[in-house]
Amino acid sequence: MRMKNRYQAIVIGASAGGTIALQKILPFLPAEFPMPVIIAQHLHPLQDGAAIIHYNGGGALIVKDADEKESLHAGFVYFAPPNYHLLIEDDHTFSLSVDAKVHYTRPSVDVLFESAADAYGTGLIGIILSGANQDGADGLLRIKQKGGLTVVQDPQDAEVSYMPQTAIETARPDHILTADEICKFLIELTLQRVP
């Protein structure tokens, strides 16, 4: 018998080196993974869909760019499209924005995390991976303040340590784990079974 999972969604922020960490997480999440995964990764504004193609077929979950007004569903991994901020509305649908860059980036991790924290509250898990700027630190703090669960990749495990280190200093996350450990942690946390 499975225990009821209190978490409803996962948001992930990644920048330089984040692809390497994501490759240790996304392909290993099982088909029965019970919530959507939403990712803001810093990309070149003109980047094509190669990343989506790369992740699709490499695991059990469906990977796609998020669309305006799309509802979130378990079994999907949603990426913020290049050159758009991605926000989650209170009704758990997406909004896309071309507002000014935050920390010189669009999509911004902070924008995603802050909107998700407001939409999901205690039902949210926020994760910061490898990266080269401070984007995501304030958003992770908002998630923690709203009662969500906060996780940061161990800076020693990250290809670029600045983003996770800044998140640790700003948000004092609940867990600091390697990318491999993050994957195992998410599976164990959300698919707990009792006799």
pLDDT band of residue 1 (cuts 50, 70, 90) is very low
Residue 56, pLDDT above cutoff 80: no
Q: Give the domain range for residue 87.
A: 37-190
Strands 9-14 and 37-41, sheet pairing = parallel
54-58, 94-98, 118-122: least confident range: 54-58
14-18, 102-106, 111-115, 166-170: least confident range: 102-106
Residue 159: inside a domain, yes or no?
yes
Residue 31: inside a domain, yes or no?
no
Residue 68: inside a domain, yes or no?
yes
* Structural domain total, the chain: 1
Residue 66: inside a domain, yes or no?
yes
User: CA gyration radius for the chain?
Assistant: 15
Residue 170: inside a domain, yes or no?
yes
Average pLDDT over residues 1-24: 85
- Say what the pTM is: 0.92
Residue 3: inside a domain, yes or no?
no
Residue 10: inside a domain, yes or no?
no
Long-range interactions of 93-98: CB distance < 8 A, separation 24+: 93/69, 94/66, 94/67, 94/68, 94/69, 94/70, 95/68, 95/69, 96/66, 96/67, 96/68
Q: Say what the pLDDT of residue 45 is.
A: 54
CATH (domain of 41): 3.40.50.180
* Residues labelled catalytic: 15, 42, 135
